[in-house]
Homo-oligomer: A and B are copies of this chain.
């Protein structure tokens, strides 16, 4: 499904115009991680867009101890940054991520502290909860997060991308809910979010119970990703254009939409409507409605409107 759209999309989004390729190339930071991070490179392809790049390419972006805590710091900062309106996540190197870095993490997972089974369990639960938070921060960040996947996206990588809002991938991407292969049930988000991200439960079960690979076409057909691109450059250009579209609109409207979409996922329709009304009773009083309406009536682009920071 969506295959028709994948093609037409390239002509729909034009936010950055001809110069976007230059921007995209600039994003492929060869300079390594951005201090204080050691696994992430942060850049700003536009004033209102933050690009978070998994940047440990020599280890196939395997998720080591540093990564699990840096993601939390990084997204907490983004959440509080009034300049940032949209986030793009991608990865440096040949693949998106090989998943958890078992060697670096083995201690936490395989040799946890504790004088007896109960105390080991207690500490394991603390760790799992901490790791779950690494991806839940993406969801709690009110700014839309577009993730762009190329090559392998394995294990923890699937946990990560299902916590993002919009998923794109290249033709060579593949996805694997790897956990049963190493003797455990996926515990940092995939089993909770994947079934709410794609429509076929038979497919979700197949992926999670057999650990088989899913390739780009099936990812598109199943709705896991919205679009597939010939190569990473094309994907990044489109990710940026899409980010540009969202960044150009009222942040009150866009971020309120994300907050309520996530609320609705976890509640009945009646509860979602009640929350929505309570949310918008103040948010409708933004100056952005007037600015946007006026621009709309004057047939001006949303991109011509200047919105206050949020």
Contacts and interface: CB of A to CB of B under 8 A. Distances in A.
A2 B209 CA distance: 17
A268 to B, nearest CB: 4
A250 B286 contact: no
B253 A180 contact: yes
A310 B180 contact: no
Given A122-B281, A203-B226, A273 B189 contact: yes
Interface in A253-276: 253-254, 256-261, 264-270, 272-276
A236 interface: no
A288 interface: yes
A184 B278 contact: no
Contacts of A51: none
Contacts of A254: 180, 209
B205 A165 contact: yes
A46 to B, nearest CB: 15
B117 A185 contact: no
A218 interface: yes
Contact of A289 (B182, B191, B214, B225): B182
A6 B157 CA distance: 25
Interface in A213-265: 214, 217-218, 221-226, 242, 245-246, 249-250, 252-254, 256-261, 264-265
A198 B1 CA distance: 12
Interface string A192-220: 11011111111111101111101001100
Interface residues of chain A: helix, strand, loop or mixed (majority): helix
A48 interface: no
B253 A283 contact: no
Given A195-B265, A276-B191, A281-B121, A183 B288 contact: yes
A151 interface: no
A125 interface: yes
A203 to B, nearest CB: 6
A166 B205 contact: yes
A257 B185 contact: yes
Given A166-B206, A302-B181, A191 B284 contact: no
A26 interface: no
Given A246-B209, A260-B191, A285 B116 contact: yes
Interface string A268-310: 1110111111111111111111111100100000100000111
Contacts of A192: 260, 264, 269, 272-273, 276
Contacts of A128: 276-277, 280-281, 284
24 contacts: A1-B221, A2-B203, A5-B217, A102-B293, A118-B284, A118-B286, A118-B288, A132-B277, A139-B269, A165-B209, A166-B209, A181-B292, A185-B256, A191-B264, A192-B264, A193-B269, A196-B269, A198-B201, A199-B200, A203-B226, A205-B258, A209-B257, A278-B279, A281-B282
